[in-house]
Structure 1
Amino acid sequence: MDLNRITSFKSFRQKMGEMWKSIDFSRESVQDYLYVLAGALVQAFAMRLFLIPAQLVSGGISGAAQLINHYTNWPIGLMVFIGNVPLFILGWQHLGGPRFALRTALSIVAFSFFTDFLGLFLPAEGVVHDLVLNCLYGGVVLGVGLGLVYRGKGTSGGSDILGRILNERVGISISQAYLATDSAVILSAGFVFAWENALYALVVTYVSGLTAEMVLEGSNVFRTAMIITNRPKEVAERILYDMERGVTILEGRGGYTGAEREVLYCVVTRSEVSQIKSIVKAVDPNAFMVIGQAHEALGEGFRPLQ
């Protein structure tokens, strides 16, 4: 028995040593940790100012903790931490060990601590009493926090871990896994609080998801232009020098005629769409042009590639 304990202790020390060695203290990694901490703090503000006072659950472990708190008055942050322990262990085993652990552990511990700590200072009744306002602002602020955690390459624990495990081991898509876990908690909230609150909680989940995506990927929506013209060099030169935008020349072939021709491809901002249309029309009124939408543009002329 003692030998087993010694072996287990050595194994634990070895794993902790591996995790410590895997910690990257580069500037980029430190920035990621700060993102995770800031995201956890913002999420805790969303919980204490909007969601908890209005009895709106956000799904996952934090939502389940709100339901338990309603009957037991146990600290929500502490229950979030306890509920994440078994999921964290599963994540360690199935999602990459030390590389997975650090940012996720930081997110869980920080969010649990901030949730209970802020409860000591912020008003228990929140800042507004209107359910719609709590729903919308709670969803937006929660989404900002989630987006910051994701930008720090972390996860918020709970259903994030479970969703990734189900995706890798069972083949269920992450969105379906989130829907199943969050829906179960929100459905329970309908019985515990009120069905009106549960329906608004669905809106919270939707709004927070949109906001998190916006924070993670940016709010800019760019346009892609694909131009088929008999005068590709003239059009490309006008775009290069008049708009100062890069142009890529692709080799294309007509599906009906079989003729070889050059296809122009470029990325512009929304405000530049009318300008590029004017250039193409002025150079070749018979050109064919397709305007598409891109959610993000990285590289020269846009945001740095990171």
Structure 2
Amino acid sequence: MEYAYLLAGAIIQALAMRLFLVPAQLVSGGISGIGQIVNSFTGWPIGLMVFLGNIPLFLLGWRFLGGPRFALRTALSITVFSFFTDAFMWIIPGEGVTHDLVLNCLYGGVMLGVGLGLVYRGQGTSGGSDILGRILNYRFGISISQSYLMTDTLVVLAGGFAFNWEKALYGLVVIYVSGLAAEMISEGSSVFRTALIISSKPDEVSSKILTDMERGVTILKGTGAYTGADRPVLYVVISRAEVNQVKSLVQEVDPSAFMVISQAHEALGEGFKPLLKR
């Protein structure tokens, strides 16, 4: 299943390049962005340049980021993406789907992010700035998000010189949108919520949630800092659609209760998605 994610993710990224980003000259960072810039001046195939440009980074990644397991998955992702980026050139019209920069930016960013997210779910990397960002994090302690920002911003700025600054600004939007889409696909769509409930009637509240909503409740030990009194804290995981229901149940039992509702990326275990190793 992981290799299916890798293959699908790499092909979707190649489609995003050929349908939206390359026709609109939108540079999204990384080795593929450098390939776009060089292609605009030389006509050299983008996929081939992506493949060749990833070789030194691939060797560094082999050394610092996990050896053979890293190598196999990353090599597969890079090879498939590079091959289909050039292969789609013979199938997809050079002008792409639309000439509208906004549409190319949004749809290209979302499709690119979906492909990246699938590659991450397959426990792989997409090469390029992904490898470089992780190496900078490993060797110099620079956070991965800062590493991506530095490397991709430099490429987008280069795109501004090569094409124009309006397209460079749209390129920054592509990076942001693709990042959101990649996070949603790889980590979940944030459809779950967690509720922390502090009530003077913890038994009645938990019983109501257990019977009416059929959701599990965990009772955590808590102490009020001001009063010093014991204050049990109820912890509940619910779906987004159940937020109003749990508010109503708590208000019915104890109108003076205190609640904090937070967002969760994923819920694994009984009542939710099975806890399986991916």
**After TM superposition, is the score higher than 0.5?**
yes
TM-score for the superposition, normalised by structure 1: 0.88
Whole-angstrom CA distance in 1 between matches of 2:261 and 2:146:
32
1:229 aligns with 2:207: no
Give 1:112 shift.
0.4
Which structure 2 residues correspond to residues 46-85 of structure 1 after superposition, within 5 A?
Answer: 46-85=16-55
TM-score for the superposition, normalised by structure 2: 0.97
What SS is found at the alignment partner of 1:220? coil
What SS is found at the alignment partner of 1:253? coil
Q: Render the CA deviation track for 1:135-186: whole Å, top value 9, x for unaligned.
A: 1110011111101101101000000110000100011111111111111111
Query: Rg larger in 1 or in 2?
Result: 1
1:37 aligns with 2:7: yes
Whole-angstrom CA distance in 1 between matches of 2:187 and 2:64:
27
Q: Residue 255 of structure 2: which of 276, 280, 285 is its match? A: 285
Match of 2:118?
A: 148
| 8 Å CA contact retained: 2:12, 2:111 | yes
| 8 Å CA contact retained: 2:13, 2:116 | yes
Match of 1:7?
A: none
Whole-angstrom CA distance in 2 between matches of 1:282 and 1:125:
60
| 8 Å CA contact retained: 2:190, 2:263 | no
Match of 2:266?
A: 296
Whole-angstrom CA distance in 2 between matches of 1:281 and 1:183:
49
| Unaligned stretches of 5+ residues in structure 2 | none
Whole-angstrom CA distance in 2 between matches of 1:143 and 1:64:
18
Whole-angstrom CA distance in 2 between matches of 1:147 and 1:292:
23
Whole-angstrom CA distance in 1 between matches of 2:54 and 2:199:
58
1:266 aligns with 2:236: yes
Q: Render the CA deviation track for 1:27-73: whole Å, top value 9, x for unaligned.
A: xxxx1111001000000000001000110111010000011111110
| Unaligned stretches of 5+ residues in structure 1 | 1-30
Give 1:279 shift.
1.3
Q: Residue 177 of structure 1: which of 142, 147, 160 is its match? A: 147
Whole-angstrom CA distance in 1 between matches of 2:218 and 2:129:
42
Match of 1:24?
A: none
Percentage of identical aligned residues: 72
Q: Render the CA deviation track for 1:107-133: whole Å, top value 9, x for unaligned.
A: 000000010111111101111111111
1:168 aligns with 2:165: no
Length, aligned pairs only: 276
Match of 1:206?
A: 176
